[in-house]
């Protein structure tokens, strides 16, 4: 008992520091800590709000479980790895495919997706336990930078059609009004990300969403230039406070085979996050990699058990920390508590659901594109040599299978394009690397 008390006590001790770089076990003054926690929620807008809406999840439930997941992560890593857990974009394509979601309104078949999310989290947690037992080098062996980069790029490319569908409408009939609003929203996000001053530059998705919402309202509701008017009745009639909507999971073999392979992607995402945070803080976080995997897996299982999306550590956190130089884990505890509080506001959820589809499309164009280019950045930052054909071909095969969404189906078994691309990238690289087929520029095929 004494050991357990000491374990908990050690997590909730932060030394106050008022200036300079603030480490995970330090904290800014109270008021600044709260402000920074709220800021992280805004920075995570895409992960906590946009991703669940695109999958047809209840935004209140999703943000509630993102907060719960963040607290679980904090406990498992003893506060040593500052991070907020948001909805992973890796789940979007497979959840949409598993549920047959039309892209509009609530996802009526969400229960089968939840069963798959829980199973994915379980596999992920097992990987964490293995890493805790034998180390993480085998993960790096199976997923070197070229494989990780290819997998991340595939996610963005596989999701690209969803962004376009939001702008033109799921009726697949070109809507010039929707396209205009979507493209202007995307342009505004780009301008904010490049030219906005200070911390505003770290909130492009949130600010872009607000801009697109106001633009759509003026053009449609006020000027009647096109599009369906925004209906505020659901917002005004929703109670300010209320319980999150919970859903009971259903195990479905088709959904399981589609969603479980996402665990491969989550491992790559989390490994990269821990290493990035270690580099920024100057601390050895390798002993916490297995704990981070296990925490993510458990958090995903908990979220899936009640109606939340699968969760993962997020790059937006790294961006905000890089700008502020504040790595205090207390900030993320505060952010988690704010998220949980928002989960108890049906009015907040109704406001999120009132966002017009073209605006969602504009935000998705940027987000999904950033995911794809992040995969390329991983390769660049790790100096992947594309004059070596094993790297060149691994990336080529994965991108083609993922962008083309090659699905493999046999009986009740089904695997979507992201899963096939992930497995293909791992196998192709290992086969070519094993047999010494990594020839350089003198044997290039292109």
Q: Which segments of the chain have a pLDDT < 50?
A: 170-173, 441-446
Rounded Cα–Cα distance for residues 92 and 158 (Å): 10
Parent domain of 38: 21-438
Q: Residue 185 has what pLDDT? A: 93
Length of the chain: 446
Q: Residue 414 has what pLDDT? A: 65
Q: Residue 442 has what pLDDT? A: 46
Query: What is the H or E stretch that residue 397 is in?
Result: helix 389-403
In a domain? residue 381: yes
The two structure tokens encoding residue 274: 């821990």
Q: Residue 173 has what pLDDT? A: 47
Rounded Cα–Cα distance for residues 61 and 342 (Å): 9
User: DSSP assignment, residue 288?
Assistant: G
- Model confidence pLDDT, tens digit, residues 156-208: 888 888 888 888 764 444 568 888 999 999 999 899 888 888 767 767 877 88
Q: What is the total count of domains within the chain?
A: 1
In a domain? residue 396: yes
Rounded Cα–Cα distance for residues 129 and 135 (Å): 10
The two structure tokens encoding residue 129: 């336990």
- Is residue 157 within 8 Å of residue 370, measured between CB atoms? no
Rounded Cα–Cα distance for residues 28 and 135 (Å): 34
In a domain? residue 16: no
Q: Nearest 10 degrees: CA dihedral of 230, 233, 235, 240?
A: 170
In a domain? residue 393: yes
User: In the beta sheet, which residues pair with residue 368?
Assistant: none
Paired sense of beta strands 408-410 and 413-415, if any: antiparallel
- Is residue 300 within 8 Å of residue 176, measured between CB atoms? no
Cβ-based neighbour number of residue 132 at 10 Å = 16
What is the SS3 string spanning 332-370? HHHHHHHHHHHHCCHHHHHHHHCCCHHHHHHHHHHHHHH
- Model confidence pLDDT, tens digit, residues 47-58: 778 788 888 899
- Is residue 68 within 8 Å of residue 390, measured between CB atoms? no
In a domain? residue 1: no
Which residue bears the tokens 């504040």? Answer: 326
User: In the beta sheet, which residues pair with residue 311?
Assistant: 87
Residue 249, φ and ψ in degrees, nearest 5: -70, 155
User: DSSP assignment, residue 445?
Assistant: -
In a domain? residue 5: no
Rounded Cα–Cα distance for residues 112 and 118 (Å): 10
In a domain? residue 88: yes
In a domain? residue 264: yes
């Amino acid at each position: 008992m004494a050991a357990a008390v000491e374990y908990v006590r050690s997590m909730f001790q932060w030394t106050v520091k008022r200036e300079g770089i603030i480490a995970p076990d330090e904290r800014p003054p109270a008021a600044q800590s709260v402000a920074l926690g709220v800021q992280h929620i805004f920075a995570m807008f895409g992960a906590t709000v946009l991703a669940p809406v695109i999958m047809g999840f209840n935004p209140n439930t999703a943000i509630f479980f993102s907060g719960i997941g963040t607290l679980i992560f904090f406990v498992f890593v003893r506060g040593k790895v500052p991070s907020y857990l948001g909805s992973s974009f890796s789940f979007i394509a497979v959840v949409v495919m598993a549920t047959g979601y039309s892209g509009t309104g609530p996802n009526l078949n969400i229960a089968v997706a939840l069963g798959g999310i829980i199973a994915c989290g379980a596999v992920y947690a097992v990987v964490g336990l293995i890493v805790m037992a034998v180390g993480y080098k085998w993960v790096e062996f199976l997923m070197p930078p070229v494989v990780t980069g290819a997998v991340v790029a595939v996610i963005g490319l596989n999701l690209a059609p969803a962004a376009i569908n939001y702008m033109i409408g799921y009726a697949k009939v070109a809507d010039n009004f929707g396209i205009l609003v979507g493209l202007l929203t995307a342009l505004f996000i780009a301008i904010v990300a490049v030219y906005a001053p200070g911390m505003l530059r770290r909130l492009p998705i949130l600010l872009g969403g607000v801009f697109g919402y106001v633009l759509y309202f003026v053009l449609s509701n006020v000027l009647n230039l096109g599009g369906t008017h925004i209906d505020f009745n659901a917002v005004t009639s929703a109670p300010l406070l209320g319980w999150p909507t919970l859903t009971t999971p259903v195990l479905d073999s088709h959904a399981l085979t589609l969603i479980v392979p996402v665990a491969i992607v989550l491992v790559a995402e989390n490994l990269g996050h821990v290493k990035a945070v270690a580099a920024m803080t100057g601390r050895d976080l390798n002993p916490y990699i297995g704990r981070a995997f296990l925490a993510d897996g458990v958090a995903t299982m908990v979220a899936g058990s009640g109606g939340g999306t699968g969760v993962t550590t997020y790059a937006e956190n790294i961006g905000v920390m890089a700008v502020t130089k504040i790595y205090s884990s207390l900030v993320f505890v505060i952010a988690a508590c704010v998220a949980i509080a928002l989960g108890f506001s049906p009015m907040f959820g109704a406001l999120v659901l009132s966002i017009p589809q073209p605006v969602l499309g504009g935000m998705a164009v940027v987000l999904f594109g950033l995911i794809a280019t992040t995969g390329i950045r991983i390769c660049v930052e790790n100096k992947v040599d594309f004059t070596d054909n094993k790297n060149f071909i691994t990336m080529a095969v994965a991108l083609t299978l993922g962008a083309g969404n090659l699905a493999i189906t046999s009986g009740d078994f089904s695997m979507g394009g992201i899963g096939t691309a992930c497995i293909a990238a791992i196998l192709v690289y290992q086969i070519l690397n094993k047999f010494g087929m990594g020839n350089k520029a003198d044997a290039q095929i292109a």
